[in-house]
Amino acid sequence: MPREGAPPLNLNPLSSLLAAVVVLLIGTMINRKVWFLSKYNIPDPITGGLRFAALAAIAWLAVSFKVEVALSAGPFLVIILMQTVFIILYAIYVCFRFMGRDYEAAVSSAAFIGFCMGSTATAMANMQAITAKYGPAPQSYLIVPLAGAFFIDLMNAFLLTLILAVPFMGG
């Protein structure tokens, strides 16, 4: 429950992007220093986001500021549910079939699901879990990190900033 008289914290798209990059870098630093986080493949954005959430909660208690949220819980849960269903259907009926319906296609489809869950690190963790049980997939290990690092991660920041700058999308 927000406190009375607390000023809202509003971020423009560029500030939001910069804050996300800082959270990612903090998560990377923490994951490199805390051994069990890297052992259990905890993604850097998760670690940084938890650190940010803890600091924001402490700052909220100390300084009395609030962050306004655009979506309520109901529509947000519907969006997450629909995204999950779409990702699963797309991975099964498009990715797996387009990539050849073999073991490499299954590993690459798992990586696609990891990308959709948030990052290249999650895609690699999904691939690692499958290949640890069923054997190596060298083509997937070559293609997925390159696609994730050079295409998805770089273009994602650019496209999100561009979309959020459109007036009817919040800019």
Domain positions in the chain are 13-63, 73-147
Question: Residue 5 above 60 pLDDT?
Answer: no
Q: Reply yes or no on whether the pLDDT at 73 is more than 70.
A: no
One-letter amino acid at 13 equals P
Give the C-alpha distances (Å, rounded to integers) separating 67 from 56, 73, 96, 121, 147.
9, 15, 41, 29, 35
Average pLDDT over residues 38-67: 72
pTM tops 0.85, yes or no = no
> CB–CB of 144/124 below 8 Å?
yes
pLDDT digits (tens, 9 = 90+) for 119-160: 788 888 899 999 999 999 999 999 888 887 777 767 777 888
